[in-house]
A = this chain, B = another copy of it.
Amino acid sequence: MSNNSFVLKGSIAFSENSKDIITYSNGYLVCEKGICKGAFLELPEKYKALPLIDYGNKLIVPGMTDLHVHAPQYTFRGIGMDEELLEWLSTYTFPEEAKYADMEYARKAYSYFSEDLRRCFTTRAVVFGTLHNEATIELMDQLEKTGVITYVGKVNMDRNGGEGLEEADAAESLQATEDWLEAIAGRYKNTMPILTPRFIPSCSDELMKGLGRLSAEKGLRIQSHLSENPSEVAWVKELVPESTCYANAYELFDTMGTVDCPTIMAHCVYSDDLEMEILKKHGAYIAHCADSNMNLTSGIAPIRKFLDAGINIGLGTDVAAGSSMNMIKTMLISLQASKMYYRLVDADVKPLSFEEMFYLATMGGGSYFGKVGSFKDGYDFDAVVIDDSKMYSMRDMSVRERVERMVYNDADAIITDKYVRGSKIYSRSE
């Protein structure tokens, strides 16, 4: 398999589009030089010479894309969850991130993050680091070794960070960004830089504008946060009084991106029609982080509306406001959130179907990386092989039923092998 060409056999499931999951029981999945050539009930003659790995009855699904995760927060996940966003940031998050000035600390903490990322359902991720260049390069070095394909951002923040987590001013922050980009130029195959203004309350107007210029000059993508919490939304309105809405504030700084260089905006819980228009116009991606949004009492984003409007959207775990990097647990919580939005907020906004949620976790977010997140011909071969035999059943469940059951019982879905672009990057038996 040195040229990443092989055939997998097993119980295959993948999205064809946002409405349909295609399944094959005892199906064949062909990978040629890291690219998927499709799934088949009968293996076509021309692929019969390829090495075949028979996974028996195990599930094989596309690798998942985590569009929003904070690496430095991983080691304190699951605590302080009675707080809301701004209190949680100042009490838990900022003091923790300040510790990444210490490289010994960063090295160890990022090794926990990187190793667990390698072992989970995620094959692509878009990652926040901290404002520290050295620690962020360490994170990128470690991520490169995992085989997971990522965008990683050195965070920019020149105000409201509190003690030990603030750059002096826009000039210093922009210079640090240029230094970071220079230091990593040509260094990685799978790890790409992304500009990362934390959010408007953390970045002066000058810094935001500087990052907008840098993005345009270098063709660099941007990630940030948008309309997560009511107090945050109100604060941004004060900080950028000339903006018509939070998304427009980003627009004013030229950080909302373009269709060819799309910005990721995490959350969008409070995005209304005006914000939706702006997101759509710029080809931005929404990183929907339902676990985080429920944990920090932020609210529930109207995902059905975003989907219907044709806005790009995927899922994010948002560790550590989301408490786990497990994308299938994130799917479950996102499904529950969608059902509650329908029941409690607006009965005209129907819950997402399981098919739609599976699509978001795979193809939806995957499209940020290109042809990623499906087993259709021509897609990058990202795959996760899952042993669900611990979930005893009294009937022969269909592959479709098993995929749904796995999402609702994440603890009993055991990853056997994980492939990224045809390379096996994790095996339970290793």
Contact = CB atoms under 8 A, between A and B. Distances in A.
Interface in A331-387: 332-333, 335-337, 339-345, 351, 353-354
A409 B323 contact: yes
B408 A77 contact: yes
A105 B395 CA distance: 10
Contacts of A291: 336
A404 B81 contact: yes
B405 A294 contact: no
A343 B294 CA distance: 9
Interface stretch (A37-45, A249-257, A295-303): A295-303
A98 to B, nearest CB: 13
Interface in A380-406: 391-395, 397, 401, 404-406
A251 B333 CA distance: 36
A407 interface: yes
A346 to B, nearest CB: 10
A297 B408 contact: no
26 contacts: A75-B392, A75-B393, A75-B395, A76-B393, A77-B408, A78-B407, A79-B401, A79-B405, A79-B408, A81-B335, A82-B351, A82-B354, A295-B339, A297-B340, A297-B342, A297-B343, A299-B344, A300-B344, A323-B332, A323-B409, A324-B408, A340-B344, A341-B344, A344-B345, A410-B411, A411-B411
A78, A405, A410: residue with the most chain B Cβ atoms closer than 10 Å:
A78
A109 interface: yes
A209 interface: no
A223 interface: no
| Chief secondary structure at chain A's binding surface | helix
B76 A343 contact: no
Which of A75, A391, A408 has the largest number of chain B CB atoms within 10 A?
A408
A235 interface: no
Contact of A406 (B78, B99, B326): B78
A333 to B, nearest CB: 7
Contacts of A323: 332, 405, 408-409
A298 B343 CA distance: 7
A112 interface: yes
A220 B366 CA distance: 56
A428 interface: no
A340 B342 CA distance: 13
Contact of A339 (B108, B297, B332, B353): B297
Contacts of A99: 394
Given A300-B344, A336-B295, A345-B344, A77 B392 contact: no
A332 B395 CA distance: 30
Given A99-B394, A108-B394, A112-B392, A409 B340 contact: no
Interface residues of A, number: 53
A79 B393 CA distance: 11
Contact of A78 (B109, B337, B345, B408): B408
A297 B409 contact: no
A338 to B, nearest CB: 9
Contacts of A105: 394
A354 B79 CA distance: 10
B294 A324 contact: no
A391 to B, nearest CB: 8
Nearest to A320: B408
A108 to B, nearest CB: 7
Given A82-B353, A407-B78, A408-B324, A343 B394 contact: no
A275 B44 CA distance: 64
Contacts of A299: 340, 343-344
